[in-house]
Each structure stands twice: as structure tokens, then as C-alpha cells.
Amino acid sequence: MLLPALASPSSKVALRFPERELTYEQLAREARQVAYGLVGKRRVAVWAHVRPETCVVVVGALLAGVPVVPLNPKVGERELAHVLADSEPDLVVDDELPSGPPVDLPEPDGEAPALIVYTSGTTGPPKGVVLPRRALATNLDALAKAWAWTGDDVVVHGLPLFHVHGLGVGVIGPLRRGGTVHHLGSFSVVKAAGALRDGGTMLFGVPTMYHRIAAEPEHAEAFGKARLLVSGSAALPASVHERVEQLTGQRVVERYGMTETLMNTSVRVDGDRRPGTVGLPLDGVELRVVGDEPGEIEVRGPNLFLEYLNRPDATREVFRDGWFRTGDLAVVEPDGYVRIVGRRATDLIKSGGYKIGAGEIENALLEHPAVAEVAVTGEPDDDLGERVVAWVVVRGEAPEPEALSDHVARLLSPHKRPRVVRFVDALPRNDMGKVLKRELR
């Protein structure tokens, strides 16, 4: 059973949001109402607003065995049109929650799809990653063992609910354990510190959040009270590691995962929390580095996704004899710790915890009438990890940089907009006409 705590629900708090909290009894009742209204649906999309109703719909869909497509509330019009056309949900849920008469809700098979999460690649439109129930169950249990995660834990975070970090690990994870999710609504150091003073035991964040924690030392004692501080979605700089430890006495635990694989590795709660490393493979996950080090990480195990929705060719391309080719480059240290050193596809930018495909932004910018040519890169940013930079050859008069950033935010999503726009006379290219991005950095 994926969510055993809902079988015999208690009065313990399951979900705590700024505007409302639900006990397991309340969550079970409301989620079952949603499930009854979803029975027979092929798949359902939900606007993943940061509010308890989103969690109720997701849990209801899981009870009904209906795959759920979380939608980014800030998605641009073109990206939204693609996701809806590709996933073809029978229902899109926003304000009004579905309901129906009570029916039996048998536990679906472990291979049944649970989530379809859209992820941006380096080129082309986003792909729908089909995650089965067994991937969630086995991976969350492996994390529980690695982190000594129990039903007594209260997980604090302010992450979005449309990707696997905030929704899969940050919501379904605590509910599988029978613990509590304390969602901040949106992240701030003050709110996170208050939640940890109010009984929070684990904090899930991305490097940008820890950078901000390190910059507000007056709240350090609250973070020192946490049982575990966890960082993911991008590498945490060693300087931030050290600053957080100096302020709180805590060393941050890093882990490594992807939408297609959920979590692959993690530093154990009792392990060496070395900056620059993401620990050891989780139980059940096989990991190998192919080629001379640094080589490409390949993984296999029950944590893997089923397929890219409607993309059999793309699915075949990323598998080799049952091993998923991650595209990430790593070195395995003598004690087995994994150190991520780069990305096979240099066009992937990690900014503020998001993975952003440069090609998608380039295509959007080329639709602006003032843009003749463009290349998008990432460059280091103390707050975001990397910031999106657009190098633009203009047609006619140069527009204001903000106009180009707003153009991208409208078509795609705000977090994909260029933070910096640089106008250039020409883009460096090789003999084949390919842009040499390394010369732009």
C-alpha cells in the first residue's frame, strides 16, 4: 500500500499550510471524495498551487489509481498548450474538486502510473515522465532508511508542488511515513526558522535557500534544532556548507536525483557529510560510471520511470541494456561516494533548484521580432547557483532587456526568463555553423 496511514487514519496532523491544516482523518475523508469522482478517468491534471487542496487531489488520484499531471501555476501559454495536448487529461482540476458516490478503491498494481511530471530537456518541448507507484514506494522507503525518517518527523519546506522534489519527496514522502508536512507557502528564512522552532524536524531545500539561511545568521539557532537539513536539485557550494555549519552546528545532507529516477544517492544521516559529494547509492539503486572518469552516470533499479509519455524513441534513447543514462558526469571516490562534476549536455542550466533547457529559451527568444540570433548559457550566481544569460544579435533597434525577459516568462515560465541579456554583434560559430558557447562564457 502506497499510503498506509490513510487506511486507519488518526487525528494526527498530516498537512499544515499557512491557511489550513488537515489531520489524517480529514485528509482521508476529503481525498476519498475526490477519488470517488475520479474513478474511471484515464488521467487527471491538477493546477499545483501551493495549497492543501492540491495535495488532496493528488492523494485522491493515488487512491483512485488515476495518474495525475501536476501543472506549474506559472506556466506559459505555449508550454501549457503542449502539456495538455500531450497528456490529454480527462479532467483539469483547479478550484472545484471532483467528488462522487462511495465505491470500492482497491490498491492499484505497483507498475500502475502514479505521476506524469513534465521536465524540460535541452531541446524541444517538455517530456512527460511517467512514474509508477513502485518507484515512489521503494524510493521513499530507501530514503527513510538513509535518513532514519519516521512518522515522528515533521518535514518543513517551501518547495513548488509540480515536481518530484516538492511533491514526491516533500509531500508523498511524509504521508507514506505517517508523519507531517509543514509547507511554508513560500520559502523565507523567517518562516522556515519559525516552523523549525514549532516542532519541525527536517528541512528540505535547494542551494538558493541555504545561501539565504547563511546570509541571515540571526536565525541560526532555529536551524540548529533540526534533526536533518537536506539539500538537493543542484550542488551546494562548499562555502555555503561551511557557513551553515559555522552558524548552526549542522552539516547539510546532499542527495542526487532526477525526475526520471527519483533519488539515486544520498549521504546517510550517520555518514560523512562531505561538501561536493552526494553520498552513496540508495538501497535498491544500482549506479555505475561509464567511460573514463569523469564518466556518465547510469542507474537501474525499481526507482526508474516507465517511459516518456508518447515518446517511444526518446525512451529508447536513454536506456542501455536496462540502465538509464542520466547525462550527468561524475567521479566515484575510493569510499564509493559520488561526486557530480558536470552535465553531458552543456545546455542544461540549474538555477534556483530548477533544471532549465537553454534550447527552449532560445526558441522562445527567436520569436521576438527584434531577435535575429541568440544563444543561452548559464553562469555562476551566488544566490541561484546559475543564472540564465541570453546573448542576442538584434534585428534593427535593440529592445530593452526587460522586454526580452518578459517575453520568455510569458511563453514559458518566470523561472526560465534570462536574468542577464547581453547584446553582441555576432555569435561565435565553428565551420559547421554551430554556436561555440564556451567562447561566450
d(CA 32, CA 104): 10
Among 280, 310, 341, the domain boundary falls at: 341
Report the mean per-residue pLDDT for the chain: 93
Cell numbers 505555449: residue: 78
Q: Is 365 found in the same domain as 270?
A: no
Predicted local confidence at residue 342, as pLDDT = 66
d(CA 305, CA 136): 10
The gap between the terminal CA atoms of the chain, to the nearest Å, is: 50
Region label for 136, one of left (φ > 0), alpha (ψ between -120 and 50) or beta (otherwise): alpha
Q: Do the beta carbons of residue 376 and residue 364 sit within 8 Å?
A: no
Counting residues of the chain whose pLDDT is more than 90, the rounded percentage is 83
For 20, phi then psi, to 5°, come to -170, 150
Predicted local confidence at residue 349, as pLDDT = 86
Q: Is 246 found in the same domain as 161?
A: yes
The model's pTM is 0.85
C-alpha cell at 147: 535518513
Q: Is 360 found in the same domain as 336?
A: no
Nearest to 364 by CA among 72, 71, 82, 87: 82
Complete DSSP assignment for 171-189: IIHHHHHT-EEEE-SS--H
Q: What is the CATH number of the domain that holds 133?
A: 3.40.50.12780
Predicted local confidence at residue 328, as pLDDT = 87
Q: Is 263 found in the same domain as 170?
A: yes
Of residues 359 and 75, more confidence is placed in: 75
d(CA 223, CA 231): 13
**pLDDT tens by residue, 314-358:** 999 999 999 999 998 888 999 999 998 766 666 678 899 887 878
C-alpha cell at 399: 529592445
Q: What is the CATH number of the domain that holds 381?
A: 3.30.300.30
Give the number of C-alpha atoms closer than 13 A to the C-alpha of residue 367, restricted to the C-beta side.
Answer: 13
Among 323, 341, 359, the domain boundary falls at: 341
Q: Is 355 found in the same domain as 337?
A: no
Predicted local confidence at residue 429, as pLDDT = 80
Q: Is 388 found in the same domain as 304?
A: no
**pLDDT tens by residue, 157-205:** 999 999 999 999 999 999 999 999 999 999 999 999 999 999 999 999 9
Q: Is 320 found in the same domain as 424?
A: no
Overall average pLDDT of the 97-103 stretch: 96
Could you list the residue range(s) of the whole structural domain that residue 182 is in? 4-341
Q: Do the beta carbons of residue 207 and residue 237 sit within 8 Å?
A: yes
Complete DSSP assignment for 357-385: EHHHHHHHHTTSTTEEEEEEEEEEETTTE
Tell me: cis bond preceding 294? Omega within 30 of 0 counts: yes
Q: Please report which helix (H) or strand (E) contains residue 290, including its range.
A: strand 286-290
Q: Is 297 found in the same domain as 372?
A: no
Task: Give the list of residues 6+ apart from residue 221 with CB closer than 8 angstroms, or none.
Answer: 248
Q: Does residue 431 surpass a pLDDT of 60?
A: no
Among 341, 362, 378, the domain boundary falls at: 341
Predicted local confidence at residue 254, as pLDDT = 96
Q: Does residue 221 surpass a pLDDT of 70?
A: yes
Q: How far is CA 368 from CA 99, 397, 406, 437, in A?
A: 44, 12, 11, 21
Nearest to 72 by CA among 188, 159, 136, 157: 159
Complete DSSP assignment for 224-265: HT-SEEEE-SSPPPHHHHHHHHHHHSPPPEEEEEETTTEEEE
Q: Is 221 found in the same domain as 330?
A: yes
8-state DSSP, 229: E
Q: Does residue 432 surpass a pLDDT of 50?
A: no
Number of domains, the chain: 2
Give the number of C-alpha atoms closer than 13 A to the C-alpha of residue 8, restricted to the C-beta side.
Answer: 0
Nearest to 160 by CA among 418, 420, 417, 413: 413
Q: Is 414 found in the same domain as 270?
A: no
**pLDDT tens by residue, 370-417:** 998 899 999 999 999 999 999 999 989 999 999 999 999 999 999 999
Q: Is 159 found in the same domain as 121?
A: yes
**pLDDT tens by residue, 274-313:** 988 999 999 999 999 998 778 899 999 999 999 999 999 9
Overall average pLDDT of the 254-274 stretch: 96
Predicted local confidence at residue 433, as pLDDT = 58
Handedness of CA 247, 248, 251, 256 (dihedral sign): negative
Q: Is 426 found in the same domain as 352?
A: yes
8-state DSSP, 235: P
Give the number of C-alpha atoms closer than 13 A to the C-alpha of residue 220, restricted to the C-beta side.
Answer: 15
